[in-house]
Amino acid sequence: MQETNSEQIILTVKIASLDEKKIINNLYSCYLHDLSEFTDSIETDEYGQFIWDSVDLYWENSSLHPFLIQYQNKAIGFLLLTEKPYVKAGCDYCIQEFFLLKRYRRQGFGRQILKETFQSYKGAYCLLVLEKNLTALNFWRRFYKENNKEYEEGIIEYGNDKCYYHTFSV
């Protein structure tokens, strides 16, 4: 993916190396903390940590793509993209997780990251958004509208949670 330069702004999105796995794992803990507001399914362990037990899979399987997002050389988020066989029939890719630290939201970074991702990975997409996560839901709906993307939306049960299910193509 590309670097976006605008005077002092440098936003980088790249496949995370094995050496950067710990960074993604640390950011994932922040992501789980944010999501815990919307579901009872996310708990800390006995040490008060949010644990992601499948982090290694993203570096062991070529169908799983961990992207590290950096702003001015600081890690600020990640995007986890999956492809067949880890997607619903009819989809080429699934955005499993998309996270930016709160400080970096509402600055256009998310939209830019998605546009760059979609330039490199064209096809049919799917994603889930927790029903109670209205900020994420509104982000996606706004993104579709701003980019003239048609999408389908439904509600499904995922574990103990209700989620919005989106499909769209790029």
Closest CA to 139 of 110, 168, 119, 160: 110
Residue 58 buriedness (CB in 10 A; 0-12 / 13-18 / 19+): buried
* Res. 6: pLDDT tops 50: no
Q: pLDDT tens, 68-119?
A: 999 999 999 999 999 999 998 999 999 999 999 999 999 999 999 999 999 9
Q: pLDDT tens, 42-66?
A: 888 787 788 777 888 899 999 999 9
Three-class SS state of 104: helix
pTM over 0.85: yes
Three-class SS state of 87: coil
Residues 78 and 16 sit within 8 Å (Cβ to Cβ): yes
The CA distance from 24 to 17, in Å, is: 10
Q: How confident is the model at residue 8, as a pLDDT?
A: 57
Q: Which percentage of the chain shows pLDDT scores above 70?
A: 95
Tokens 């998309």 sit at which residue? 98
Strands of the 151-158 sheet, one edge to the other: 3-6, 9-15, 64-71, 74-83, 93-100, 124-130, 161-169, 151-158
Q: pLDDT tens, 21-45?
A: 999 999 999 999 998 999 888 888 7
Closest CA to 143 of 116, 107, 111: 111
Domains and CATH numbers, the chain: 3-121 (3.40.630.30)
